[in-house]
Chain A
């Protein structure tokens, strides 16, 4: 088992472009035109203005580990073999938080404040999941 047996993302009309970009190895975010601030998860309007005045932009793919946990209790059949597995919360340089996993990095090297960047090693059929490792 691996990224291929992960639960599939819930796709809706707003996050479809996000997943399409991931499949091309790009991390994209919606940016509010009025404030210049990015937001996630994808939505019909900017949370900063409540208006549908936003654009998709390429994100830097870089961020900082805000916190992290290690799952010892399993909840997903397709992740049974990964237990215990870490989940890291990354504060992207653009502002939004992503909950994600480490790739190319050991659990003992996870630390709050550590710089990380995105990579796209695979995912369940039809999807590519952003994962994070040492800043490239």
Chain B
């Protein structure tokens, strides 16, 4: 067996000191697709301007800046004319969307910055980014790519709990259905069926094409500020009510052998931290780099017992208009846009403001974000007036 990780385990029943203290005041996204004529700076500027307009602010109001997957924070600040008192660049990995959000919340709550712009830009499609290859620990054996790591875990999960590839179908189909309700989604207008999911070509067996996220260009920006200041801004504030995180790196550079179940379980403290129970949440944003992570997330956060996620999602549980837990209503990484968590959190904010049109969750008051990675995380966002 792998080493038993010793977890710090966030204390259950402890209110989060930052509960409802920080708000999302603006949200912006660029176009999503293939844009070789621009780059992550250009796309980032597009998203930032859209987020500033949304918040009714200008770059002069921004005194904190976090950029992600844009090569240089300095160049980005320079080109946008932002001279902040708090500035940093976070790692490219998708787990850093939630981490960046938490860092901004800490900066705002501690007074290090008032209004923080968080900007993520990705031109992976136009530069033909390959998520695999290159020299790494396991490349001599041909083991590479995050998809293969998830395929390895999924095969073991099948063996251990009796899940099957068919169990992933409702995940991909629900998210594609949502993308078809979202005019901005890359896969808008291209519905799929469970049969399409089953018949897709294998990429790294047991996973197939429709279990994989998209690779596209795009950018997302959020403006975060204090809940107090957000009250006087243009749009109804959405509060960051709770956030929980538990890391585990004890996997020997190999695919995690525990499906992150212990660390995700530790993140169940998010409900206590937010002061919001699961029953009071209307929808979910789950990090879907590959369809199995959605099931691992549902098991880890306790939506169902470990091993029972296949049955749990059957019959459209995650699909808007069908099930109790509409998830990734934009289409997620599988069918909207691969914005590494940044877009999923933006979608939670849009749902809580009632901005989602045909894909709106009726009366969304609180949304939960979950990210199953070696940095396991969950956050709960709510409408300030809810």
Contacts and interface: CB of A to CB of B under 8 A. Distances in A.
B137 A67 contact: no
B203 A87 contact: no
A43 to B, nearest CB: 10
Given A76-B133, A112-B155, A112-B159, 12 more contacts: A10-B139, A39-B252, A47-B3, A67-B156, A69-B148, A82-B142, A87-B148, A97-B257, A123-B140, A127-B140, A129-B140, A129-B141
A20 interface: no
B199 interface: no
7 contacts: A66-B257, A82-B142, A84-B205, A89-B255, A97-B254, A99-B138, A100-B141
Contacts of B252: 39-41, 96-97
Nearest to B249: A47
Interface of B: 1-3, 130, 132-133, 135-145, 148, 151-153, 155-156, 159, 201-206, 250-255, 257
B124 to A, nearest CB: 15
Interface of B: prevailing SS: loop
Interface residues of A, number: 41
- Sort A-B residue pairs by CB-CB distance and give the 6 closest, nearest first: A75-B133, A67-B156, A70-B205, A75-B132, A7-B139, A99-B143
B202 A72 contact: yes
Contacts of A129: 140-141
Contacts of B133: 75-76
A56 interface: no
A13 interface: no
A69 B151 contact: yes
Contact of B156 (A41, A75, A84, A112): A112
Contacts of B253: 41
A113 B203 CA distance: 24
A8 interface: yes
Nearest to A40: B252
Nearest to A19: B140
A120 interface: no
Contacts of B202: 70, 72, 84
From B138, B159, B250, name the one whose CB has the most chain A CB atoms within 10 angstroms.
B138
